[in-house]
């Protein structure tokens, strides 16, 4: 499963600890997106699709901790 950095960060922010819980959290968040947030909607859809395509055991191997250091470096 090839998860992008942006998908990983999104999953990290909404991760309640289980694959099904994360799918539910992302699905709920998606419902609040405005029409002009198409890029975030696409990222969310991609993350949900990848979560649906993996097992709980595969989910457990993901490193879902936000990497704020990389984000700070990109801003410089």
The two three-digit tokens of residue 57, written as one number = 């055991």
The pTM is what?
0.84
d(CA 55, CA 28): 21
Tell me, what's the pLDDT at 67?
A: 72
Fold of 5-75: Arc Repressor Mutant, subunit A (1.10.10)
Question: What pLDDT does residue 76 have?
Answer: 55
What's the pLDDT score for residue 75? 55
Which one-letter DSSP state was computed for residue 53?
T
Q: Where are the alpha helices (DSSP H) in the chain?
A: 5-14, 19-30, 38-52, 56-60, 68-75
CB-CB contact of 16 with 22 (8 Å) = yes
Residue range 32-75, pLDDT digits in tens: 999 999 999 999 999 999 999 999 999 999 988 877 665 555 55
Q: Where are the domains of the chain?
A: 5-75
Look at residue 19 and tell me whether its pLDDT is greater than 90: yes
């Amino acid at each position: 499963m090839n998860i992008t950095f942006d998908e990983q960060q999104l999953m990290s922010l909404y991760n309640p600890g289980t694959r099904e819980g994360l799918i539910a959290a992302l699905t709920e968040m998606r419902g609040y997106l405005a029409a002009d947030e198409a890029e975030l909607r696409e990222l969310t859809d991609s993350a949900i699709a990848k979560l649906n395509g993996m097992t709980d055991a595969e989910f457990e191997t993901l490193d879902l901790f936000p990497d704020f250091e990389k984000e700070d470096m990109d801003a410089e």
